[in-house]
Amino acid sequence: MTAAESGTAAREDGPAAAEAGDPDAPAGPAPLGVPRTPTGNAGVDAALDRLADVDHLPGDGHIEVYEDVHRALRDTLTALDQRPGPPGPSPTPSAPSAPRPSAPYDTRS
């Protein structure tokens, strides 16, 4: 006896089942529509743009994108640490100070 003969149809899983009207089927990938404001740093902006790729991937594909973005952001921060910054304040030579006279000790009790 086949599934159709027994009155139970074979169940499809995934987005095709959701499109076919199966309310219990998992939803397919969908964009979240989260707005993003540019940071002004090309490396950071490129990494954040890469996050949009997860909108079109199933859940098991997200980890690769997240690891890629994490690596890119870490590399960008490392590059910022390695750039020379502004020079620090130059030490001002101080004139040798005259020895201070020793203060008398107060022996009052």
Phi/psi of residue 19, nearest 5 degrees: -70, -30
What's the pLDDT score for residue 89? Answer: 76
Phi/psi of residue 93, nearest 5 degrees: -65, 125
Return the higher-pLDDT residue of 8 and 82: 82
Structure tokens at 81: 């640490």
Confidence check: pLDDT of 100 > 70: no
pLDDT band at 109 (very low <50, low <70, confident <90, very high): low
Confidence check: pLDDT of 15 > 80: no
Question: How does the average pLDDT of the chain come out, rounded?
Answer: 74
Q: Do 39 and 47 contact (CB within 8 A), yes or no?
A: no
> What angle is formed at CA 63 by the lines to CA 58 and CA 65, rounded to 5 degrees?
90
Other beta carbons within 10 Å of 54: 19
Return the higher-pLDDT residue of 28 and 66: 66
Q: Model confidence over 45-98: pLDDT tens digits?
A: 999 888 888 888 888 888 999 999 999 999 998 988 876 767 777 777 665 666
| Angstrom distances, CA of residue 10 to CA of 4, 13, 15, 65, 92 | 8, 10, 15, 34, 84
What's the pLDDT score for residue 27? Answer: 74
